[in-house]
Chain A
Amino acid sequence: EPEVTQTPSHQVTQMGQEVILRCVPISNHLYFYWYRQILGQKVEFLVSFYNNEISEKSEIFDDQFSVERPDGSNFTLKIRSTKLEDSAMYFCASSTRQGDWTEAFFGQGTRLTVV
């Protein structure tokens, strides 16, 4: 069964450093998402991406965040200057269509620890 894959599984970074989280969505999917989950809390929407542009972003997704689809297979989330409160599990997801009536498949997550 096709899966969304994310790398790395765990990233430790110093406060103020830039990090790039990588995702390979399912190959025939067109819509891509990033969510985050702070330990013990709910999954929160960050951004959705379609046709090489952001279609929606949340309040969390401020100027420190950016997303990119550098080639036909990867989808990346960049945090320019990490803060302690960015520590969370980051999930990438993809779907064949927009969120309505279609399942979003989640990757296994990248645990980001900012120290």
Chain B
Amino acid sequence: GENVEQHPSTLSVQEGDSAVIKCTYSDSASNYFPWYKQELGKRPQLIIDIRSNVGEKKDQRIAVTLNKTAKHFSLHITETQPEDSAVYFCAANPLITSGTYKYIFGTGTRLKVLA
């Protein structure tokens, strides 16, 4: 079935350093890849997304890259700050038999930014 793998499961970085989280997906029909940030006890919040017709997208300190051939996509956070500490989930939207889409989430990465 559809699967999204995410690495690493935990990541600690010094404040100001960069953080990279990587995901791979199994269904080549997936065409939308959102990244969600979830703070403890709160809802997942979309931070950036990328569509399959784009290779890279940037929003201030956050960027996402997509390699459709390899079925990889990555989240890059530069100049990390303590408030970036959270769990980050990638997701992909495999096409399902009904002709509709759903999100399959990765297992999450707990990012800790050390002051």
A residues within 8 Å of B by Cβ?
A: 33, 35, 41-45, 48, 50, 55-56, 58, 91, 98-109
Binds A, one of B14-22, B73-81, B100-108: B100-108
Q: Write the nearest CB–CB distance from A66 to chain B, whole angstroms.
A: 18
**A33→B51 CA distance, assembly (Å):** 21
Interface size for B (C-beta < 8 A) is 26
Find out whether the CB atom of A91 lies under 8 angstroms from the CB atom of B103.
no
Judge whether A99 and B93 touch: CB under 8 Å: yes
Q: If the complex has contacts A42-B106, A43-B89, are A108 and B100 also in contact, measured as CB distance less than 8 A?
A: no
Chain B CB within 10 A, most for which of A35, A42, A45, A48: A42
* Residues on the B chain within 8 Å of A48, using CB: 100, 102
Report A67 CB to chain B, min CB distance, Å. 14
What are 16 A-B residue pairs whose CB atoms fall within 8 Å in the complex? A35-B103, A42-B105, A42-B108, A43-B36, A43-B89, A45-B105, A55-B100, A56-B96, A56-B98, A56-B102, A99-B101, A100-B32, A103-B34, A108-B42, A108-B43, A109-B43
A104: B residues at CB distance < 8 A: 34, 46, 103
